[in-house]
Structure 1
Amino acid sequence: MMPQATVNEKAFVKILNEDDVNFTDIDGFYNFEVQVNGEVIAELSHDAFNYSNPWYVSVSGVEVYRSALYYEATDWVKLQYVAGTLALHQPTETTVLLDIPFDELSSEEWERVKNYPAVTESVELVAA
């Protein structure tokens, strides 16, 4: 026979619900933060140069899903969240520092940026 959970143990069980997932427009240009209880868990953006699947979901800057429709992408995020299979979002302080113009960084912030590990993936640059 399985032991039954006490009332106190049941109080600590978190039931995941897709209604907990909120999409917040961050710039008015098809870029959304996906939040649960005020914590960012993913980003949803639109790629104007991809006509077949322009909506993409990224977690910690890594694309994890693409879709032709906004609602397919939001439903996918909700499903993955409820299932507990959405990768963990890990915001990095360096990413925030890279958004600040270099001449506005303090010497301490500049040292942290310099010590950040280099990106090893190559990026193809295309002339405009």
Structure 2
Amino acid sequence: MKTKYITRLFLVAGIGMSLLYSCKKDNVDFGESLTVREAVNSGGNMQIPVKIGTPLQLNLAVTPGNRTVTDATYSNKHPEISTFSNSGLVTGVSIGKDTVVIKSGNLQVWYVVNVTQ
């Protein structure tokens, strides 16, 4: 009986150590991500704030490393709320929220565009 208890104890300890080791930050590779430098955290979500009629040039970066990105495509769901040029110039057309998908190479990200007065 004592042998079964010790065997179970070592088994549980071994599983626990394996789980701890697999959760170490050094073992996680998050890869690269595309970010918009003008985006702000609003209520826990990253948003791009834009005012109607005031164009905003988006500046993209790849993290980690904060490398500047100049070759991207922009597509949004509601062109009646915001418009995007090929160079990343966003203009607010009417008050509301839009979603933009930005792609560069094999990276893709989406943001909420919050257009205000």
TM-score computed with the length of structure 1 as normaliser: 0.26
Task: Choose between structure 1 and 2 for higher RCO, CA contacts under 8 A separated by at least 6 residues.
Answer: 2
Structure (1/2) with the larger strand percentage: 2
TM-score computed with the length of structure 2 as normaliser: 0.27
Larger Rg, first or second structure (1 or 2) = 2
